[in-house]
Amino acid sequence: MFMSKLVLTCFAAISLSACALYAQPFPADFTQLSMEQGLSQRAVYAIIQDDAGFMWFGTQDGLNKYDGYEFKIYKNIVSDSTSLSDNRVRAFLIDREGVLWVGTRYGLNRYRPATDNFDSFYSEAGNPRALSDSDIRVLLQARSDDVWVGTNKGGLTRMSIGDAGLMAVTHFLHDPNDAGTLADGSVFAIAEDRDGRIWVGTLGGGLNLFQPETQSFKHYNQQEGEPNSLSSNYVMALHCDTYGLVWVGTYGGGLCVFDPAAETFRTYHQSDEENALSSNRVLSIFEDRSGAFWLGTLGGGLVRASRSDGNHAQLDLAGTNGGLSFGRYMSHPNDESSLRDNIVRSLYQDRSENLWVGTNLGGVNKLDLKPRKFPHVKVQAVGQGNAGLNHVNALYKDEDEVVWVGTNNALSRLRPGQNRFELVLKTTVPGKRFPGYVFAIIEDGRHKLWVGTYGNGVYTYDKQSKQVRHFLHDGDNDNSLSNSRVRALVEDHSGNIWIGTSDGLNRLDPETGSFKHYFPDPHDLASLSHGDIAVLYEDSGNNLWVGTTNGGLCLFDAENETFQTFRHDPKRPGSLSNNSVTTIHEDSRGQIWIGTTNGLNKLDLATGTFEQFYEPDGLASSYIAGILSDGNGNLWLSTNKGLTRFNRDYERKQFRNFSRADGLQGLVFEVGCCHLAQDGEMLFGGGNGFNRFYPDKVVDSPFIPPIAITAFRKFGKEAVHGFAQGGASEITLTYRENYFSVEFAALDFSYPERNQYAYRLDGLDTEWIHSGTRRFVNYSNLEPGEYVFRVKGSNSDDIWNEEGAALRIKITPPFWKTWWFRILAALTFAGILALAYNYRVSKLFEIERTRNRIAQDLHDEIGATLSSISYFAQAIRNDAKARGVPISNKFLSLISESSSEAQEAMSDIIWAIDPSNDQWEKLLAKLRRYASDLFDSKSITYVIDIPESLSLNRLNMERRRNFWLIFKEMVTNIAKHAQCTDVKIQLLANSKSIVLTVADNGIGFDPDTPKERNGVKNIHARANKLNAQVELKTQAGGGTEWRLEFGV
């Protein structure tokens, strides 16, 4: 056999010591909330969830209300009697009515959500109806509805409560001279058992049982030399389980479990043993919904107590170890996901299965108790020199369900049902240690393990004989491994082992130990494309696929021993997405998938083209680290931003991405570190351990979170309190307050950063508006009216509360937009119109009477006078003629003519003034009559074309007079000067204008000849007053035509 180095050894020891490596018994990724996140103080004494779903934390300095995103802090304000009575909050109670009670160092407080303040109750000397002591330590409401208050030095107060305050108050004090009283006045714990009995833990007086028949107490104390007695009289915590056992946490005596029927205690003490209690000072006890017990200790962190056999049935206190096994959760400075402080004061489980852990210096720590979608296994290093053991590079699960784990400096294994890894540490060769950086693990057909390391070649391990062989590169031996940096291993259908190194591909015949090397040749296109091999894969058709770090993908032709290369070509859209290949996988349908550092590729082998998928398509990241497929045909892809499930209906591109919130070891997974076991379990590894899961068991949380409107702000300032706790359900705003914002929260605290929201404002929006993880909305410039703001939300697994929450918002209009103002304004306006109308009518009547009077006066006085003048001139002429007296007829004729003209003009004025002539029909009749009389007297043939149907609104007096005088001037001029035989008059009108045309066939005239033509001047002058357009067409011997047009 020719090899540069072949080491054949047997393992003298495979170290399985308990000091080496551990896998945690229960997943424990804690999330911390402390002062950096808004908590008022880091010492958390009490925790509770109210009926609306909010979390409340009592701290050393203030009360905190938490909605998953923000804290609202309540503190004492000296000048405000409705503020919290004291800042040190030690106890909580939610009573049967859903009211929150807060016990502080000074006073008991009842929270009023509608006003967001408190009613406070204190002790009063000499007042038996007050509290026995204002320093509250513990609160309990019994099934009888009585509330029990444990105080620091004043014993117990039993009371009933109502809106008026405390009622039927009874004090139970310590009296050293009365054995039936409390054994000590310092009460730190109260519990009620399944039979309704009240158990009281005191600080120094042990455990006390209240006996209602005699209103006295039975004492259980520590008895020296009696192992079945209470281990310590300092009782810090009590819990009664469903089987009737009383769990007692003591200060210094460990945990005691008391069986009331046998009146015996079983004590569990601190021990260095792996499954023992971590501290003898137990400060709090909580039973979760699965039946497991959680203990908060002083100095020993958080402890999970469960039956040793894994069940949660009644304990066999007399059995080995009392039937209990303890798992420890301690603070580790270098592990951000560990518990932040080892002093645990308070414990509580919320409705979405989170365990809240109140610590002394580390704030509140949250642990999700729901079954993890992706159980996380940490390889915890306890010994020295174990750095890098939790960085997992390779995984393999064999048929015996043993998981083999390759890390940065070791190979280890985890047997089924074990919490401890077995770390391979020693060989028979002195000074030899199993090399680190394990990047590949496979099992061949002979059940031998092959382990590829980066820098130390390949090891084989026969699990039966425990024989080891070692293959290294030897520069002096051509038949050795081409390079000792190994990233990939695969066994082909013929039993050959293919080894991918950073310098070439190797085929090893296990029988002969001989190697066949394949290297890239730039002069041979059929050679290997690149020497740095990242992944090897043989598909169901016995085809060997080689993925390189920078040379793309190669398909090996075994018959010709050549390679077909698929590379990225930016000019070819169907080429490989990137030349750095990270993983190769064939799904159940025979489809080949290739993962690269930039994109997932689906190969069409017939065409040699690829369909690519990237982060914008829905992948968590385009950097693909590993690919596996489940029994349903779905792909599971590890990336450097989490894990992605790609639905089997690939064309629809349905992706579901998972993050650390789902239990992943981290967002970044190691390239090629994935394995599909024979039983369908999937394993993916990274820098913080590995995840193992069965795809069919990846289920979403069914919890439907309550939706709360957490704040309403006007112009950025909080305006209303208590929406989700019986407070405001309707808000009224003025029209000036129409800029506001609404904040809301889905009260699922598992991973609130992934909760989704949608909202709608009825009255404005017609569809739901999905806001993603944004949990507020702003509105501005809304019209006055009534609106309903609706919001719905989901938990971190996209399970929606479709009912959501609602808030009615009424925006009142300004007074001038109110219905009563509009009615009043309408009535006022109608009144004003009526008054104006009446006033206008009276004025019109007055004007009409005035016009009638003027017309009558002109007719009676001036008309008569002008008639008299004309008559007297004629009389003088007649008288002179009769006497034979010579007179001047010329002047008498002028007087007569002038008086006649004046009388005619006066007649026109009177006609225009007379209101009875305002009608359009009267004007048309006057036009016809005047023209007919005049032309008939001159024997002129005429045509008057005025349609009978012509009807317009009446013209006012001035326009009617000017129109009449223009018409009269035109017609008169024709009669006097035209010497015509035919005249045509046409009048047309519509709703916008009136057009008058007057034409004759007379002698005409030259309009450019300077001549006195008063008629023409008068027509133009009056046309201007009418805002009319007037046209004159005439020439000597060619007749005359007037056209007048004016608007109405």
CA distance 908 to 147: 109
Listed as own residue / partner, the contacts of 276-282 with beta carbons closer than 8 Å and 24 or more positions apart are 276/326, 277/303, 277/326, 278/303, 278/326, 278/328, 278/330, 279/303, 280/250, 280/252, 280/253, 280/254, 281/236, 281/250, 281/251, 281/252, 282/236, 282/237, 282/249, 282/250, 282/251, 282/254, 282/255
Span 840-864, average pLDDT: 63
**Alpha carbon of 474 to those of 187, 265, 424: distances in Å?**
76, 69, 26
Mean pLDDT score, 956-984: 88
Residue 44: count of CB within 10 angstroms of its CB? 30
Q: Which range (374-378, 597-601, 945-949) has the least confidence?
A: 945-949
500 within 8 A of 536, measured Cβ to Cβ: yes
In one letter, which amino acid is 48? I
List pLDDT tens digits, range 900-915: 666 666 666 767 667 7
- Tens digits of residue pLDDT in 47-64: 999 999 999 999 999 999
Run of H or E including 564: strand 562-566
pLDDT at 903: 62
**Mean pLDDT value across residues 657-669:** 93
Alpha-carbon gap, residue 776 to 991, rounded angstroms: 61
In the predicted structure, residue 834 carries a pLDDT above the cut 50: yes
Residue with token string 């259980």: 220
> Residue 165's pLDDT is what?
64
Percent of the chain predicted with pLDDT > 90 = 66
- Residue 354: predicted pLDDT: 97
**pLDDT of 388:** 65
pLDDT at 925: 86
Residue 808 C-alpha from the chain's centroid = 20
DSSP state of 15: -
Per DSSP, the three-state class of 1018 is: helix
- 758 is a domain residue: yes
Q: How many CB atoms lie within 10 A of CB 373?
A: 20
The CATH number of residue 767's host domain is 2.60.40.10
Residue 738's pLDDT is 81
* Position 7 confidence tier, pLDDT thresholds 50, 70, 90: very low
Confidence check: pLDDT of 118 > 90: yes
For residues 644 and 942, give the distance between their C-alpha atoms in angstroms, rounded to a whole number.
103
Give the DSSP H or E segment for 442.
strand 438-443
Burial 193-202 (b: 16+ CB within 10 A, else e): beeebbbbbb
pLDDT of residue 309: 63
Distance of CA 21 to the CA centre of its chain: 43
Query: Model confidence at 5, in pLDDT bands (50, 70, 90)?
Result: very low
Q: What pLDDT does residue 815 have?
A: 86
**Is the per-residue pLDDT at 313 higher than 80?**
no
**What are the tens digits of pLDDT across the range 749-774?**
999 999 999 999 999 999 999 999 99
Neighbours of 699 (CB within 10 A): 10
Read off the pLDDT of residues 802-817 as tens digits, 9 standing for 90 and up.
999 999 999 999 888 8
User: In whole angstroms, what is the distance from residue 439 CA to residue 557 CA?
Assistant: 26
State both tokens at 817: 């937009």
Please report whether residue 88 resides in a domain: no
Note the pLDDT of residue 318: 65
What sign has the CA pseudo-torsion 961, 966, 968, 969?
Answer: positive
Residue 328 three-state SS: strand
Which residue, among 410, 566, 574, 561, has the nearest Cα to 498 in the 3D structure? 561
Measure the CA–CA gap between 799 and 295, rounded to whole angstroms. Answer: 32
Q: Which residues lie closer than 8 Å to 980 by C-beta, 6 or more apart?
A: 940, 974, 1000, 1001, 1002, 1003, 1039
With 0-12 CB in 10 A as exposed, 13-18 as middle and 19+ as buried, what is 107? buried
Rounded to 5°, the CA angle 71-284-252 comes to 135
Task: Identify whether 701 is part of a domain.
Answer: no
List CB contacts of 262: < 8 A, sequence separation 6 or more. Answer: none
- Which residue bears the tokens 């997943």? 27
Final residue in a domain of this structure, among 817, 846, 867? 817
List, in sequence order, the alpha helices (H) in 79-211: none
How many angstroms separate the CA atoms of 849 and 75, rounded?
87
Domain C-terminal end among 778, 801, 817:
817
> Is a pLDDT exceeding 60 seen at residue 19?
no
SS (H, E, C) 490-542: EECCCCCEEEEECCEEEEEECCCCEEEEECECCCCCCCECCCCEEEEEECCCC
pLDDT of 1013 strictly over 70: no
Phi/psi at 671 (nearest 5 deg)? Answer: -60, 130
* Calpha distance 328→350 (Å, rounded): 21
Digit-coded pLDDT (tens) for 347-369: 999 999 999 999 999 999 999 99
Question: Which residues partner with 91 through β-bridges?
Answer: 103
pLDDT bracket for residue 869 (50, 70, 90): low
Given a contact cutoff of 8 angstroms between Cβ atoms, the answer to whether 738 and 781 are in contact is yes
pLDDT for the residue numbered 382:
43
pLDDT at 2 > cutoff 70:
no
pLDDT at residue 386 above 90? no
CA separation for the pair 374, 664 (Å, rounded): 6
Q: Is residue 3 part of a domain?
A: no
> CA gyration radius for the chain?
53
CA torsion, ordered 432, 436, 442, 448, to nearest 10 deg:
10
Q: How many domains does the chain have?
A: 2
**Given pLDDT bands bounded at 50, 70 and 90, which one contains residue 958?**
confident
- Res. 1012: pLDDT tops 90: no
The predicted structure's pLDDT at residue 408: 86
Q: How far apart are the first and last CA of the chain?
A: 124
Contact 71, 65 (CB under 8 A): yes
Over residues 633-639, the mean pLDDT reads 97
Average pLDDT on 881-906 reads 65
Q: What is the CATH number of the domain that holds 945?
A: 3.30.565.10
3-state secondary structure of 826: helix
Band (pLDDT 50/70/90 cuts) for residue 652 is: confident
Strands (E), 614-756: 624-629, 635-639, 642-646, 655-658, 669-676, 682-686, 689-693, 707-714, 717-720, 730-734, 740-746
Residue bearing tokens 């601190």: 270
**Is residue 746, in this structure, part of any structural domain at all?**
yes
Q: Tell me the pLDDT band of 853, cut-offs 50, 70 and 90.
A: low
Of 236, 244, 405, the closest CA to residue 315 belongs to: 244
- Mean per-residue pLDDT over the chain, rounded: 88
pLDDT, residue 164, reads: 64
Phi-psi region of 625 (alpha: psi -120 to 50; beta: other; left: phi over 0): alpha
Residue 975 inside a domain? The answer is: yes
> Pairing state of beta strands 282-287 and 264-268?
unpaired
Q: Please count the residues of the chain.
A: 1048
Residue 320: pLDDT band (50, 70, 90) is low
User: What is the per-residue pLDDT for 360?
Assistant: 98
pLDDT digits (tens, 9 = 90+) for 530-542: 999 999 999 999 9
Q: What's the order of all strands across the beta sheet hosting 117-121?
A: 89-94, 100-104, 107-112, 117-121
Confidence of residue 34 (pLDDT cuts 50, 70, 90): very high
In this predicted structure, what is the pLDDT of residue 845? 72
Give the chain's count of helices (H) and strands (E).
6, 73
In single-letter form, the type of residue at position 772 comes to G
Count CB neighbours of 257 within 10 A: 22
Residue 860 lies in a domain: no
**In degrees, to the nearest 5, what angle opens at C-alpha 134 toward C-alphas 131 and 137?**
100
Q: Tokens representing 372?
A: 């993890």
Q: What's the confidence (pLDDT) of residue 420?
A: 82
Instruction: List beta partners, residue 457.
Output: none
Read off the amino acid at residue 915. P
What is the pLDDT, as a whole number, of residue 337?
Answer: 86
Do both 924 and 1045 map to the same domain?
A: yes
Final residue of a structural domain among 773, 799, 817: 817
pLDDT at res. 274: 79
Whether 746 contacts 732, CB under 8 Å = no
Q: Is the pLDDT confidence value at 964 over 90?
A: no
Q: Which domain holds residue 1041?
A: 920-1048
Model pLDDT, residue 427: 37
Lowest mean pLDDT among 557-566, 806-815, 1005-1014, 1022-1031: 1005-1014
Considering the domain architecture, whether residues 926 and 1041 belong to the same structural domain is answered as: yes
pLDDT of residue 383: 42
Give the DSSP per-residue string, 738-781.
Answer: --EEEEEEE---SSGGG--EEEEEETT-SS-EEEET--EEEE-S
At 1019, which amino acid appears? I
1 in a domain, yes or no? no
CA distances in angstroms from 658 to 31, 378, 438, 637, 645, listed in the order given: 18, 19, 27, 10, 8
Spatial separation of the C-alpha atoms in residues 738 and 812, rounded to whole Å: 10
